[in-house]
Amino acid sequence: MHKQVWVFQESIHPKSTQIWLNHPQNVLDRLVAKQQTIFLVDDKLPNCKELFPNHQKLYLAAGESLKTWENTQIYAEKLLSMLMDRGTMLVGVGGGTVTDFTGFLGAILLRGIKVGFIPTTLLAQVDASLGGKNGINSAMAKNLIGTITAPHFIWVDQNYLKSQATVDYLDGMAEVIKYACILDEHLMQLLEQRADPIINQDASMLSEVISCCIEHKMKIVQEDIKEKGNRKILNFGHTFGHAIERVYQYTHGQAISIGMRLAAELSLMLGTGITNEQVQRISNLLAKYQLPIRFNHGLSEVWDVLFYDKKKEADHIAFILLEAIGKPVIIKIPHEQIQRLMEEAVKRMNN
């Protein structure tokens, strides 16, 4: 396995995030002070009660149902009762919902304290824990309540992935494929040509993939922490994906896979420059990693959620489409055209 460390500096705040990949435990021990660190741990992790002895811990029931106002208040009161102060650091250990929730608590408690993340799923290691976004869900849509606050460190240990069920591991591959589609033809080729060792978690291949994704995301985040410009391209597949994830209870990776497939079809329909062969290539790659490429539900329940998307503006929604593999483009689609275009795109996907 490759060992790497990055230090990323925010463009608008004097904060930096250290990201450690596959380093020994004693390095982590130096990052967390025993008397001033509280771990928030996914209670479904194997041997979770044995992790981080001699530290204070709270256990979380991970999943989107964690990210509510009610749970925010419950855990905020628990943490305050543990006599925390502004020198305390919270460390979230788990998948993306755990790091989202921990980051949000850290941003609001005592008007902001340090947080660190130990992502334990592929999806969290390559995407969800990176970039400083955190938050909870509203009754209307995902992630409408939150902040953007850089974590003090992110500790990425791919050994955690060995305990992931294969279906959950492959769920994270949707975000890896996203980076290939929008940024990296070489990564696309690697995913196509080395699918078997990647699916089987070959250590060297997996660390190369994780490292590549970290570098792609953090390069963009450094330049656009508040998502005013180029960071928007990281939402490829997420506009439709988040809506169907909310309505039909898809996993995140499943929803984003369908969202990317739809975005590729929209790109072809709107004449962005992408070819039919490239759209098929994306579809084939998603299928190779056992991700869904068809949508067999009605759209009537999707519209209300879609129009609460964070990327909507007064009279349109900004969709991230493709001019070609590795060439994203932001297309603003007026509200009155979205329903017709998406219905046609779904038909094309399902043929």
Domain boundaries in the chain?
Answer: 4-163, 167-350
Task: Copy the structure tokens of residue 43.
Answer: 């209670």
Kindly report each contact of residues 40-43 with a partner whose C-beta sits within 8 Å and lies 24 or more positions away, as own/partner: 40/75, 40/90, 40/91, 40/92, 40/93, 40/94, 40/98, 40/101, 40/102, 40/105, 41/93, 41/94, 41/98, 42/93, 42/94, 42/95, 42/98, 42/120
Check residue 12 and give its pLDDT: 47
CA distance 347 to 61: 38
Nearest to 130 by CA among 191, 220, 190: 220
Buried b (16+ CB within 10 A) or exposed e, 324-345: ebbbbbebebeeeebeebbeeb
Residue of 255, 279, 242, 263 lying closest to 333 (CA atoms): 263
Structure tokens given for 152: 């003090």
Question: What SS3 class is residue 138?
Answer: coil
Topology adopted by domain 167-350: Dehydroquinate synthase-like, alpha domain (1.20.1090)
pLDDT of residue 2: 61
The per-residue pLDDT for 1 is 62
Q: Which residue type is seen at 106?
A: G
Contact 285, 264 (CB under 8 A): no
Res 14: pLDDT = 47
pLDDT at 315: 80
Burial class (CB in 10 A: 0-12, 13-18, 19+), 215: middle
Burial 170-180 (b: 16+ CB within 10 A, else e): bbbbbbbbbbb
Q: Tell me the β-bridge partners of 312.
A: 317
pLDDT digits (tens, 9 = 90+) for 148-204: 989 999 999 999 999 999 999 999 999 999 999 999 999 999 999 999 999 999 999
pLDDT of residue 332: 93
Compute mean pLDDT per 10 residues along the chain, 351 residues long, and list them: 66 70 89 88 93 92 95 97 91 97 97 96 97 92 89 95 95 98 97 97 96 95 88 95 93 97 98 97 98 94 79 80 97 91 95 87
Q: Which residues pair with 117 in a beta bridge?
A: 92, 154
DSSP result, 7-47: EEE-SSSS-EEEEEES--HHHHHHHS-GGGEEEEEETTSTT
Q: CA-to-CA distance for 242 and 259, rounded, in angstroms?
A: 8
End-to-end CA distance of the chain: 42
Maximum distance among all Cα pairs of the chain, rounded to whole angstroms: 60
Which residues are within 8 A (CB) of 271 and not within 5 positions of it... i.e. 6 or more apart?
Answer: none
Give the residue from 118, 85, 116 showing the smallest Cα distance to 103.
116
CATH architecture, domain defined by 4-163 = 3-Layer(aba) Sandwich (3.40)
**Reduced to 3 DSSP states, what percent helix, strand and coil does the chain have, rounded to the nearest 5?**
50, 20, 30
Return the active site residues.
111, 133, 175, 217, 227, 231, 235, 238, 242, 252
Give me the phi and psi of 263, to 5 degrees please: -65, -35
DSSP codes, 169-193: HHHHHHHHHHHHHHH-HHHHHHHHH
pLDDT for 167: 95
d(CA 131, CA 179): 14
